[in-house]
Amino acid sequence: MRTATGAAPLLALERVRVGYPAPGGLHVVVDELSLALRQGEIGCLLGASGCGKTTVLRAIAGFEPVRAGRILLQGAVVAEPRRALAPERRRVGMMFQDYALFPHLSVAGNVGFGLRRLRRAAREARVAAMLELVGLGGAAADYPHELSGGQQQRVALARALAPEPALLLLDEPFSNLDVDTRGRLAHELRALLRATGATALLVSHDQAEAFAMADRIGVMERGRILQWDSAEALYRRPAHRFVADFIGRGALVPGTAVGLEAELEVLLRPECLLHDPEGPIRGVLLEAGFRGPGYVGSVRLDSGEVVEVDLAEAAPREPGAALALRLAEGPLVTFPRQ
């Protein structure tokens, strides 16, 4: 797989299949999975629990064999059926969901763990630089249990980055943190990865997290990536019904509900219908609520479909009010009717 510039991507997965041994043979959990990340890009595998995200990371790291297809790092094949480079020779760093810090080692001991082949002075300098980078310069002598969840995450990140991996894999990096901390750390982590020029692939089941962190996102369903694209493209140009439904708010309604052909289904996001007293689409407001920055209404169209609509200042907000609407300017996402 080549990128638009012609340079080989830093990471490429080509039609990869991974499975686990099962009584009747192989239980395939990832199949036909392809993606590419360029140097310095942050990618994210986004999908519901059990769709195979962690399995993909484990295959890239070298902990699971590839049953079909291949994985390339820096242009070289590191895994294909019957041929695999050992995990320690892949230059892949991994940050686990629970951080997996060594409780009996200090912060400095944890960060220096993968640097034992370095001379002592070089190791100490690298550990100090990594702790400085993640803002924990003063915590070198502390032990993991003395740190907050966010601080532990930063130690884990410093440890993963210390050996200068070509690729960093992050499995649900925010799952142990409360909602407020998650939002803050997503931006902080992105800035840190940017500052180091690291190429990273993370796993998440949270769309907001994926949007905040990643340049490219792969929406996964049952072991496959349905679309590998930017956040904006996933939202504006979903290539698949599942992606249209999974990303953002919105409903798929028959074309006839908004005056289009019957063979189509139209994706109506809250911004797709506008309140307009002259508008040809009629409906009844079921309820309205303030979502910030404005009101959003739940509207039953005359055709029976219930959709969410961003309500303009002048639009009625009382339940039961009749609403006239029109389609907003701009392209609509449509799918052939099933």
Ligand X SMILES: Nc1ncnc2c1ncn2[C@@H]1O[C@H](COP(=O)(O)OP(=O)(O)OP(=O)(O)O)[C@@H](O)[C@H]1O
Q: Which residues bind ligand X (CB under 6 A)?
A: 20, 29, 47, 49-55, 205
Q: What is the dihedral of CA 271, 275, 278, 282, to 10 degrees?
A: 90
3-state secondary structure of 322: strand
Residue 110 or 204 with smaller CB distance to ligand X = 204
Nearest distance from residue 182's CB to ligand X, in Å? 15
CA distance 95 to 251: 36
Nearest distance from residue 197's CB to ligand X, in Å? 27
Do 44 and 202 touch, CB atoms closer than 8 A? yes
Nearest distance from residue 129's CB to ligand X, in Å? 32
Do 37 and 43 touch, CB atoms closer than 8 A? yes
Residue 51 or 101 with smaller CB distance to ligand X = 51
Residue 18 or 147 with smaller CB distance to ligand X = 18
CA distance 171 to 73: 19
CA distance 288 to 216: 34
Do 172 and 95 touch, CB atoms closer than 8 A? no
Nearest distance from residue 183's CB to ligand X, in Å? 20
Nearest distance from residue 217's CB to ligand X, in Å? 14
Residue 175 or 298 with smaller CB distance to ligand X = 175
Strand ranges inside the chain, DSSP E:
11-22, 25-37, 42-46, 68-73, 76-80, 83-84, 92-95, 167-171, 200-204, 216-221, 224-229, 251-254, 264-268, 273-275, 281-290, 295-301, 306-311, 322-327, 334-336
**Structure tokens of 175?**
């799952």
Nearest distance from residue 83's CB to ligand X, in Å? 22
CA distance 218 to 127: 33
Residue 30 or 258 with smaller CB distance to ligand X = 30
Residue 51 or 198 with smaller CB distance to ligand X = 51
Residue 31 or 305 with smaller CB distance to ligand X = 31
Nearest distance from residue 225's CB to ligand X, in Å? 12
